[in-house]
Structure 1
C-alpha cells in the first residue's frame, strides 16, 4: 500500500513538473512571438521619405522580427486622416511618416496617439508652385485657384504665406485635392497654383513651373512616427526595437549614400542626381528636440487660429520621452 502511494506521489510530481515546464514553454513561445499578431506599418514614400524606401527595400523590419515569428505588413496609406483612422481602428501599429498637423488634429479629436520619434524636417521640400506668369509673389494669389491637400503641412504653408502678406484663405479659391491631382490640375491649367512637395514639385518645375514660396521661415515641415498609447504600453520592447531599426537605417543611408540614392531614385522616378539634390533638403534625425516640440506647438496655434482645429491639447502629452 505504501509502495502504491509512493508511485502515485511520483506520478503527481512528474505531472505537475511537466505542467510547469509546459507553462514555461508556452510563455517562452509567446515571448518569441509565436502567437503575436502581424505588425502593420504605413508606407509613405513621398515627398522623399528615403528611410521608409530603404527599410522596405532591405526588408529591415522583416529581418528584425522574423526571429520572433512576427509578420510585418506594409500599407501604402498616404492621407494623414486615413492614417490616423487606421491607427484608431487598430489596423495600423506604426504610422511611419505622419504630418505633424495630422498628428495634432487626430489627437485633438480623441485619437489615442503618441509620437515616438521625428521622421523628418524639410521646409525647402514643401512648395507653392504656379505656371501663371501674372503670379510673381504670394501677394498675387488673391482671387486665384489654389489646389492642394487640406489639413497638411502644405496647407499650413499656404495659410502661413497668405498671412505674411495680410491675406487669408477666403481671399483665394482653395480646392482640396491630393498632390498627384494638384500637379495634374496645374499641368492642364485648371488651377493657377498647386501645393506640391518632393518629386511632384521637382517635376512641376522641370515642366515650366516656378516656386512662389517654400516652407523656409514659415513651416519646418515636421513629420513624425506615431503609435497608439495602448500598443506602446503593451509592446514597449517591440517599439524600442522598431526605433533602433529606424536609427540603423539612417546610419546606413549616411554611410552608403550613393547606393541609397540609387534605390530611392528607382522608387520615386527621379535620377540619382535629382534624388541627391532633394535629399539635401531633408533632416532625418529621429531624436525629438525642444525645437521640434516648439514647432509642433506653433503648428497647433496656427491651426487653432485658422479654424482647422477646435480643441487645444497639451503637445508634451503626445511625446514619448
Structure 2
C-alpha cells in the first residue's frame, strides 16, 4: 500500500498514451481488484488495458475482432478489458495486480513506475509516431519555433508532448524557461489556444486535424526531434510465473498486425467507427505510424533519452537500467 500511495502522489499530475498516448486524456475507467487468481499452474483471467486514441489501430482490431478472447478461450482463460487512458493509472493497476498487460503505454509511465518499485517490464514496442505529436498555434504572427520565446504554451506535463516541446526549444537554442509552460490536458489546451488565452498548444492524435479545421496550424511535429515511443508492458510477476501467457499475448498482437496489412479497407473502417474520425482522416493518420513490435537498438536509445528527459525535469531522481526493464519473451 505504501508504494501505491507514493505512486499516487508522484503520478497525480503526470498524464501519459498513447498514447497513445497514452496519457493525454482523462481515464475512462480503472481496473479494480484483480480477477486473476493465479496459481503456479493456472491463470483464469487476463486483464488488458484498452486505449484507442490517438490512433491505436492494433488495439482496435484486437478488440473489434475478439482476437484475444478467441485465443485465450482455447486455454480456458477469460479476457477482461479495462479502458484506462492514463499511463499512471495503468501502472497503479499493475502494482495492484489488477492489470496484466498495458497495451499502448507511454515509456515515461513505465520508467517512472519501475523507478518507484513497480514490477513491470516492456515486452514489445507498440508504436512510433513522431508525426502524430505536434506543437500548434493559431496566431498568424507566430511562424517558427523561435517565435515562441516569451509565449504561453499549454500541454500535458511529463508526456511525449512535453518532451517534444523541450526538444523543439533545444533545437532553437531555447530553454523551457524561455516560454511560459502551463500543464493542461489536450482538449483544454486546444480550447485555450483557439480562444487566444494561450499562444501555442501541444496537440496529438485526432485533436490535430480537428484543430486545423478550426483555423490552427502545426509549426512542428516530432519528426527529427523524438520517436514518440509507445510500448507494450506487462506485469512482472505474471511474466515470471507464466511466460507462456505473454507469448500468447504477443502472438495475438502480431496477428492483428497481419490482419491490418491484409485487410486495409476493413481496418480503416473499423478504426473510423471506433474513433469517430472519417475514413479519409484515418488513412492520413495511419501513415504516420510504425507499429513494428520489435525492440531495436534505436528504441533502446530513445528510452534512454526519455529517462534523461524525466531526470532533467525533476520527475525522476533514481536511474533505471533500461535494458533490464526489457523482457525478451521470445527465448
User: 1:57 and 2:94 equivalent?
Assistant: no
CA contact (8 A) 2:99 2:235 kept: no
Task: Name 1:238's counterpart in structure 2.
Answer: 245
1:211 equivalent in structure 2: 218
Paired residues for 1:122-201 under 5 Å = 122-201=129-208
The structural deviation recorded for 1:31 is 9.5
**Matched ranges for 1:38-77 at <5 A:** 38-77=45-84
The alpha carbon displacement at 1:227 in A equals 1.0
Structure 1 counterpart of 2:294? 287
Residue 316 of structure 1 corresponds to 323
Find the aligned partners of 2:44 and 2:162 in 1 and give their Cα distance.
36
C-alpha contact 1:32 1:68 (8 A) present in aligned 2: no
Q: How does 1:107-126 map to 2 (within 5 A)?
A: 107-126=114-133
Larger radius of gyration: 1
**In 1: Cα distance, 2:290 partner to 2:218 partner:** 21
Q: Is the 8 A contact 1:54 1:263 kept in 2?
A: yes
Measured in 1, the distance between the counterparts of 2:232 and 2:306 equals 17
Is the Cα contact below 8 Å between 2:40 and 2:241 reproduced in 1? Answer: no
1:80–1:152 contact (8 Å) kept in structure 2 = no
Q: Tell me, yes or no, if the aligned pair for 1:148 and 1:178 is still in contact at 8 Å.
A: yes
Scaled by the length of structure 1, the TM-score of the pair is: 0.86
- The answer to which structure has the higher helix fraction is 1
State yes or no: 1:104 paired with 2:111.
yes
Structure 1 Cα separation of the partners of residues 114 and 41 of structure 2:
32
The question of whether the paired residues in 2 share the 8 Å contact of 1:32 and 1:69 is answered with no
C-alpha separation in 2, matches of 1:182 and 1:87: 29
Q: CA deviation at 1:234?
A: 1.2
The alignment's TM-score, normalised by the length of structure 2, stands at 0.83
How far the C-alpha of 1:32 sits from its partner, in A, is 9.3
Are the aligned partners of 1:130 and 1:209 in contact in 2 as well (CA < 8 Å)?
yes
Q: Residue 206 of structure 2: SS of its match in structure 1?
A: helix
Kindly indicate whether the alpha-carbon contact (under 8 Å) linking 1:155 and 1:195 is maintained by their aligned counterparts in 2: yes
Local SS of the residue matching 2:74 = helix
How far apart in 2 are the matches of 1:97 and 1:123? 15
Aligned partners of 1:249 and 1:140: how far apart in 2? Answer: 43
Moved more, 43-52 or 79-88: 79-88
Q: 1:275 aligns with which of 282, 289, 292?
A: 282
Q: Which runs of 5+ in 2 are unaligned?
A: 1-38
The answer to whether the 8 Å contact 1:119/1:285 transfers is: yes
Aligned to 2:233, which of 201, 221, 226? 226
RMSD (Å), alpha carbons: 1.7
Change (3 A) 1:189 1:267: farther
Q: 1:108 to 1:68 in 2, by over 3 A?
A: same
Residue 32 to residue 85, structure 1, CA distance change in 2 (3 Å): closer
